[in-house]
Amino acid sequence: MQKPLLRIPYTGPLPPPTIIPRNANTLIGAIAALSNFLTAPPSPSLRDSAGDPHSTVVLSGAGISVASGLADYRGTNGTYRQNKSYRPIYYHEFLANHEARKRYWARSFLGWPTLHKAKPNQTHFAIKSLGELGLVRSVVTQNVDSFHSIAHPEIPTLELHGYLRALRCVTCHNDLPRESFQDALARLNPAWAAFLAEAIEAGALDTENPDERRAKGMKMNPDGDVDLPDAPYTTFRYPACPHCLANPPIAADGTRTKVEVDHEGAWKPTSTAGVLKPAVVMFGESIASSVKEAAEQAIDGSGRLLVLGTSLATYSAWRLAKRAHERGMPIAILNLGGARGEEAFFSNLPIGQKGESGVRVDMGTDKVLPELLDHLRRIGYAQTHSGNVSRAIDEEHKNSRMFKDMLS
C-alpha cells in the first residue's frame, strides 16, 4: 500500500490539562464553575456585538458519544491508543482505488448495525435542556452519528464533518439513504451478510469493552468501522449510484461518463462514474466552503464557547476555538484528557475568576452535564420573555448556598 501523504495529528496522549478554576477538580466545583460560565453577563472582552452575546455555542466531538457505545479516537479507550495499527482511509485512496473501497465498505457493512441501533445519551439530551433554558444557541459537531439532530432537532446543528446516515455520489452528488445502501450490500454479499447475522446473534458487536470485542475477533473503530483481521475484503462488492446508472452524467471534458455493473448490480471497475461515498468528510478531504462559513457564523453569533468531548486535534475544530478566543469569547472545555493548544485559550484570565471567564474540567460530559442541569433548576434559573437570561437569585445568595444546594 502506498505510504500516506498526510500525517494523522495527535495520535498520542496530549498533556494533561490545568484545571480552571482550581476547585473544578471535583464534581461540585466543576458544576459551580460551569454554572457561572453559562449564566454570566456577556464578556466585556467581546470584540464585536454580532449575534446574541448572552448565548453559548457548543463545539462537540466523539467523546460525547462514547456513552452511547461508540468508539472515539483519542480517549482512554480510543482507537489510536488501543489499536496502534489503525488509520482511517484517506480521501484520495477511496477515490482512486477500487480495492480500497471494497475494504472500506466491507468494514462499514459490519459496523453499521451497531451505529444504527445506538441512541443519543445523557449529554445530547442535556444540551437539549440547556437550549430550552435559553443557554445554548447552536451546536457545531465533528460527529457523524446524527445524535444531535435526533436529541434536539430544535437547536440549529451544523455537522462539520458530514454524516453517516446517507451516501453521496462523487459524480452527480445525489444522496442515497444508508439503510437502502446497507440492504444492497447485503444482497450483493450473501456470505458477508450471513457472517454479520451470526456475529449479531452471538453478541460480538454488543459489548462496549474493546478487550471483549478483540476476544471475539473484532476491533470496533470510530464511525462504524469494524476491523476483521485476515478478512477476504477483495471479495466484497458494492453497488453503483442508481442516478448515474440510469443516466450517466456528462464529464467535465464534455464526454458522457460510463457506469457499468455486473449481472447483480455491483459496480465494475470499467466504469468512469457512479462511485458512492459516505456523506462524511474523509481524512484528507476539504470541508465545503459553505460549511466552513456556517461554522464561523455560529461562533461569531454567540457570546461564549462550550467545548464538549473533543481534544480539538483536528484543525477544523481547533480553528473554531481559536476564532472564539480571538473574538474575546469566554471558553469552557469539558473533556477527559488534554486538548490541542488549550493553554492559549486560558491565558490572561482575570485573577479570582470563578468560571465566568473560562473553565477547564477533566471529566466526562455524561457525568457533569446532567448534574449541572439539576443545579440550574434547583437555583431557579429561567429564560426571560425578552430572550435574555436571568438568575432567580442574586450573586450573594448563590455564592453562599451553592454547595448546600448541590449536596441536598
Is residue 171 within 8 A of residue 241, CB to CB? The reply is yes
- How many CB atoms sit inside 10 A of residue 179's CB? 12
Is residue 223 within 8 A of residue 62, CB to CB? The reply is no
Instruction: Round to whole Å and give the CA distance between 329 and 374.
Output: 26
172 is in an annotated binding site: yes
DSSP 171-232: TT--EEEHHHHHHHHHHH-HHHHHHHHHHHHHTTTT---HHHHHHTT-EEEGGGEEE-TT--
Non-local (6+) Cβ contacts of 399 within 8 A are: none
- How many CB atoms sit inside 10 A of residue 20's CB? 23
Is residue 380 within 8 A of residue 391, CB to CB? The reply is yes
At 324, is the secondary structure helix, strand, or coil? Answer: helix
408 is in an annotated binding site: no
Among this protein's residues, is 161 annotated catalytic? yes
Name the active-site residue from 54, 148, 161, 325: 161
Up-side HSE of residue 354: CA atoms within 13 Å toward CB? 12
Measured distance between the N- and C-terminal CA atoms of the chain, rounded to whole angstroms? 60
Up-side HSE of residue 404: CA atoms within 13 Å toward CB? 5
Beta partners for residue 301, in sequence order? none
Tell me which residue of 335, 342, 370 sits closest to 66, measured CA to CA. 335
List the grid coordinates of 19: 484545571
List the grid coordinates of 31: 458544576
Instruction: Give the catalytic positions in this structure.
Output: 161
**Which residues carry a binding-site annotation for Zn(2+)?**
169, 172, 241, 244
Task: Return binding residues.
Answer: 169, 172, 241, 244
